[in-house]
Amino acid sequence: MPALQLSAGSGYHCFIDNQFPGENMRFSALIVSLAAAAVSTAVMANTPYAIVIHGGAGTINKAALTPAQQQAYETALTEAVNAGYQVLEQGGSSIDAVTQAVLVMEDSPLFNAGKGAVYTYEGGHDLDASIMRGDNLAAGAVAGVTTVKNPVLLARAVMEKSEHVMLSGKGAEEFAKLQGLTLVDNRHFDTQFRYEALIKAKAAMEKAEAKTPHQASVRLSAGWSPAWNMGTVGAVALDKSGNLAAATSTGGMTAKRYGRIGDAPIIGAGNFADNQSCAVSATGHGEFFIRYRVAADICARVKYAGVSAAEAANQVIHQELVKAGGTGGVIVMDNKGNISWPFNTEGMYRAKRTAGQLPEVAIFQDLAKKSQ
C-alpha cells in the first residue's frame, strides 16, 4: 500500500512507497482529484453565501406594536432566516434555502402568507406564490389557490414538474393533488386579527363606495389602512455555487375580490432572479409593482445600466414608485452576496444572514439588530 502523508499547509505532500508503476499512476490520479476537490472546497468556503427575507412592508405603527408582538415577529423572522441559512451553510442550493425560509413564514400565523393569509371580500383566502432560479431562469407560480397548505411548494412543483410557469385556481389545485402536496380546508388559514381587518376594510370600502361609486381606487382612499395588506413573505439567497434564487408568497390584499391577483406570483413584478444581475422579492401595493415591473426593472438596471443592486433598488423604490404613489419595499441580493432592503413605508419586517455571521433582524427604519 502506498504511504500518503498529507501536510496541513497549502498542498499535499505524498511519499509513494510502492514498486508497481500502474498503481502509482492510479494513485497519482487520486491525489490530483483530491487536490481539485480541496481547491473547489476552498473556493466554495470563500463564496459569500447569504440570505435575506421579508415578512411584508407597510404602516407598522411602533406605538401599536406591543413589545410582546415585536418579539414574536423578531423570533419568527430569525427562525425563517436561520432555516434558509442552514441550507446554504451545509452547501445546499439557494432554491432550497428560499423554499425553507418561506415555508417557516407560511406556517406562521403572523404573516400574510399560508396560515395567517388575509381574507378575501367573501371571507375566504386566495393564495399566490412564485419562485425562480437565477442560474437558468426557471420559474414557477400559482395564483388564487385556496386549499394548498404551502403555496411556495406548489410554485416550486410548477417550476420543476410541469411544462408551465403559472397555474391558477382549480387547475393549480388539481396539480397540487397530483404532486402529493398537503391540502387543507380553506378555514386552516383563518386568524382572528385578519378577520377583524376584513370587517374594518369592508366598512371602509362601503363608505368610499357610497361617496364615489365603482371607483377602483378605494384602497387609496382616506379610510384604508395599508396595515390590512401587510405580511407578504419572501426570501432571496445566494448559495456556495454562486447561484441566486427568489421566492415570494402572499394572501394578497384584505377584501380583494373579482379574482384579483397581485404582484407576488408575477415573475418580474414581485419576484425575479438572474445570476447575471440580482434576485428580488417584493412586498407592497401589488398593482404598482405589476405596472412598474419592479423586480425585473431593478435587475435590468444592474445588468444594462451597470449600477449596483442597492442603487437600482433605491431608484425604483424611492423614485419611480414614490412618484407613482406606490408603497412597499424589496429585498435584493446581487451575485456577490451584497444585500439591500429599501422600502418607502414606515416599516418592513426583515432579516438577513451572511456567511459566518449572526442573523440581523429589523422592522422599522432603524438599524438591524443582531440576534442568536
CA distances from 2 to 24, 71, 179 (A): 8, 59, 51
Catalytic residue among 120, 232, 250, 354: 232
283 catalytic, yes or no?
Answer: no
Q: Which of 74/126 has CB closer to ligand ASP?
A: 126
CB of 248 to ligand ASP, least distance (A): 8
Decide: is 252 part of the binding site for ligand ASP (CB under 6 A): yes
Task: Please state the φ and ψ torsions of residue 94, each to the nearest 5 degrees.
Answer: -65, -30
Decide: is 77 part of the binding site for ligand ASP (CB under 6 A): no
Starting at the edge strand found earlier in the chain, the sheet holding 369-370 runs: 166-168, 139-145, 127-133, 244-250, 233-238, 50-58, 347-354, 360-364, 369-370
Q: Which of 286, 326, 337, 359 binds ligand ASP (CB under 6 A)?
A: 286
Amino acid at 105: M
Decide: is 245 part of the binding site for ligand ASP (CB under 6 A): no
Q: Which of 93, 229, 275, 345 binds ligand ASP (CB under 6 A)?
A: 229
Pairing outcome for strands 339-340 and 139-145: unpaired
Beta-carbon-side half-sphere exposure of residue 67 (alpha carbons within 13 Å): 0
State the sign of the Cα–Cα–Cα–Cα dihedral 35, 37, 40, 45: negative
Decide: is 314 part of the binding site for ligand ASP (CB under 6 A): no
Contact 352, 52 (CB under 8 A): yes
Q: Which of 166, 255, 264, 296 binds ligand ASP (CB under 6 A)?
A: 264
Decide: is 230 part of the binding site for ligand ASP (CB under 6 A): yes
Residue 361, all three cell numbers: 433582524
Q: Which of 242/326 has CB closer to ligand ASP?
A: 326
Q: Nearest-CA neighbor of 70 among 344, 347, 284?
A: 347
CB of 229 to ligand ASP, least distance (A): 4
Q: Nearest-CA neighbor of 316 among 338, 343, 336, 334?
A: 343
Count residues near ligand ASP (CB under 6 A): 14
| Separation of alpha carbons 294 and 282, rounded Å | 8
CB of 324 to ligand ASP, least distance (A): 14
Q: Which of 263/360 has CB closer to ligand ASP?
A: 263
Q: Which of 147, 232, 254, 354 binds ligand ASP (CB under 6 A)?
A: 232
| Separation of alpha carbons 11 and 207, rounded Å | 75
Q: Which of 198, 253, 280, 312 binds ligand ASP (CB under 6 A)?
A: 253
Decide: is 327 part of the binding site for ligand ASP (CB under 6 A): no
Q: Which of 94, 108, 120, 283 binds ligand ASP (CB under 6 A)?
A: 283
Residue 9, all three cell numbers: 499547509
Q: CB within 8 A of 90, min separation 6: which ones?
A: none
Binding window for ligand ASP (CB under 6 A); candidates: 88-96, 157-165, 224-232, 354-362: 224-232
CB of 293 to ligand ASP, least distance (A): 13
Decide: is 116 part of the binding site for ligand ASP (CB under 6 A): no
Q: Which of 50/143 has CB closer to ligand ASP?
A: 143
Binding window for ligand ASP (CB under 6 A); candidates: 7-15, 68-76, 137-145, 248-256: 248-256
Q: Which of 230/317 has CB closer to ligand ASP?
A: 230
Residues across the chain: 372
CA distances from 193 to 111, 150, 202, 254 (A): 11, 21, 14, 12
Q: Nearest-CA neighbor of 273 among 152, 128, 119, 98?
A: 98
Segment 21-40, which members bind ligand ASP (CB under 6 A)? none
Q: Which of 93/327 has CB closer to ligand ASP?
A: 327
Decide: is 250 part of the binding site for ligand ASP (CB under 6 A): yes
Residues with active-site annotation: 232
User: Which residues sit at the interface with ligand ASP, rule CB under 6 A?
Assistant: 56, 229-230, 232, 250, 252-253, 262-264, 270, 283-284, 286
